[in-house]
Structure 1
Amino acid sequence: TRMRPLMRGGAQERGRRAGTENVPGIAGFGAAALEARSNLEARTAHFLQLRSRLEDGLDEIENVKIIAREAPRAPHISSFIVKGVRAESLALNLDLKGFAVGTGSACASGALEPSHVLGAMGYSASEAKSALRVSFGVQNTEAEVDEFLAALREMTNRNGTLSGRSTSHFTL
């Protein structure tokens, strides 16, 4: 396979790399990696606390099913199904309230077809089309989780359908 340079410039490495390595960038990346590693346990605990609060609240909403609750999973992500509701519509309504959530699985984000990942996990096409994915950042708070849950409750009625006339993504 013939390799082509990503950037043009000097003759380093037979013309495959332009210029000198970005030493400040490399050092900065190393410092950022050390910082991330030093706070990993605290961040993980924070994410787990937020996820637990979210999922406890989701348990109180009729027709909501948490995906892979008992499976090992990333601490900052929760996926769930709102039965009978198209995830895109709910995501748009949540976006209008200031919450950004993903639909389906991360592996199938933006796809028109139901998530093949959720299908492989045993979920139906209908359930896969009703799946939302929430992720947390270090800056998120329990109060924001509560606001999200209130918005979700407001948007769904007892039958799990969208309330109101608005039709319509959660990085808290």
Structure 2
Amino acid sequence: MTESHIIYMDNAATTPVRQEVVDAMIPYMRENFGNPSSLYDIAKINREAVALARSRVARALNAEDKEIYFTSCGTESDNWAIKGTAFANRDKGKHIITSAIEHHAVLYTCQWLEKQGFEVTYLPVDEFGMVNPKDVEAAIRPDTVLITIMFANNEIGTIQPIAEIGKIAREHNVLFHTDAVQAAGHVPIDVKAMNIDMLSISGHKFNGPKGTGVLYIGKRVKLDSLMHGGDQERKRRAGTENVAGIVGIGLALELSVKEMDATTKRLDALRKRLVDGLLTIPKSRLNGHPTKRLPNNVNVIFEYIEGESILLMLNRRGICASTGSACNSASLEPSHVLTACGIPHEVVHGSLRLTLGEMNTQEDVDIVIDAVKDIVQKLRNMSPLTPDELRKY
């Protein structure tokens, strides 16, 4: 199989780095290799490059430059925001509020904190994976130190009412963090207007390099450091800066925000075509909110078959997809996101996630629709669970 035959529809897992971003990064791997913390001229060049990237990220989020901190990934940013807030504010309380459908970078961090004596409230979601802001407010206690609710879900694409939750958190003087790894570069984000205190992003989700992340930390936030060592990132996050990666994530986010309207319009049309085609398959359903969702996300369940089998057969045809989060792809457990939406375990296993990106075309969508239709029918014909009316002999 050659690259030209591949149809890549797993952009929620990762994206290819844009050529403009690669071109911008290369000088900082070769001639401009200096450590930004040093005093000589080539170090100054790199300090200025980091400062430019910081400004680019800040503008994209409507933040101030000094509120932007570079990390290694979204997982580090989530861990820093949650653990750092928890330990820095223990004198106020040990209660945290999150949702049942968070990425495992958040859920596992909260579970670890429970072992350290913290209490965590895991809010339920409705059938579309939506958190009710009233539930958030009802869960707040005098000892609540943090609310962490993801901006958009990585499996089903549902976009949460972040501005409403942020307003509630601010009114109750509780810090609010959002994991925006899937949202950044794809939907508008304004940390000031939305009353967001901390926000995590990851570069490889919007055509930037892997191994790059950002944590926005608002000025009112009291936060312990997660990484200790040198004085980098204004003494809050130690470790020599990944200058090339920082340059890459800054430019990639700037370009994604600049092109967002046009990209959203194109992806919305492709998504609608893909959803309409897949839902002609009997006993199928769309997961996530029908309208309040990421423009590139399609998550569909086909009853009586296993999603992993669909993936293997799609792969043989050069089509890349997933059943959910790439970070948990080896697990045989049913999706915690879909089960939280009230979908029975035996049905959850038939899920397929297709996430569109810059490389996808209408022709790709039509090829995928035909391939999925054929594969679902073949798998149903082999399954002893399939009702006779869904078989073809």
Give the TM bin, normalised by the shorter chain.
0.7 to 0.9
Relative distance call for 1:112 and 1:22 in structure 2 (3 A) is: closer
1:161 aligns with 2:380: yes
Residues 27, 99 of structure 1: CA spacing in aligned structure 2 closer, same or farther, 3 A cutoff?
closer
Counterpart of 1:146 in structure 2 is 366
* SS across alignment from 1:156: helix
> Which segment is superposed worse, 123-132 or 69-78?
69-78
TM superposition score normalised by structure 2: 0.35
Identify unmatched segments of 5+ residues in structure 1.
6-10, 164-172
TM-score normalized with structure 1 length:
0.76
The answer for the alignment partner of 1:86 in structure 2 is: 306
Q: Distance in 2 between matches of 1:70 and 1:156?
A: 23
1:62 aligned partner: 282
2:42 aligns with none
Q: Following the alignment from structure 2 to structure 1, what is the Cα–Cα distance between the partners of residues 252 and 380?
A: 44
Question: Which sections of structure 2, spanning at least 5 residues, go unmatched?
Answer: 1-224, 383-393
Change (3 A) 1:33 1:138: same
Contact 1:155 / 1:162 at 8 angstroms: preserved in 2?
no
The DSSP-based 3-state class of the residue aligned with 1:88 is helix
Q: Give the conservation status (yes or no) of the 8 Å contact 1:104–1:133.
A: yes
SS in 1 for 2:380: coil
* Compared CA separation, residues 4 and 22, structure 1 to 2 (3 A): closer
* The 10-residue stretch of structure 1 (46-55 or 98-107) with the greater mean CA deviation from structure 2: 98-107
Q: C-alpha distance in 2, partners of 1:61/1:2?
A: 48
| Alignment: residue pair count | 154
Q: Equivalent residue for 1:53?
A: 273
Structure 1 distance, partners of 2:301, 2:335, is 12
Residues 22-171 of structure 1 aligned to structure 2 (within 5 Å): 26-104=246-324, 108-157=328-377, 161=380
Percentage identity across paired residues of the two chains: 32
RMSD over equivalenced CA pairs, Å:
2.8
Counterpart of 2:104?
Answer: none
Distance 1:12 1:106 in 2: 34
Q: Is the 8 A contact 1:105 1:118 kept in 2?
A: no
Q: Aligned with 1:132: secondary structure?
A: strand
Residue 76 of structure 1, CA deviation: 0.7
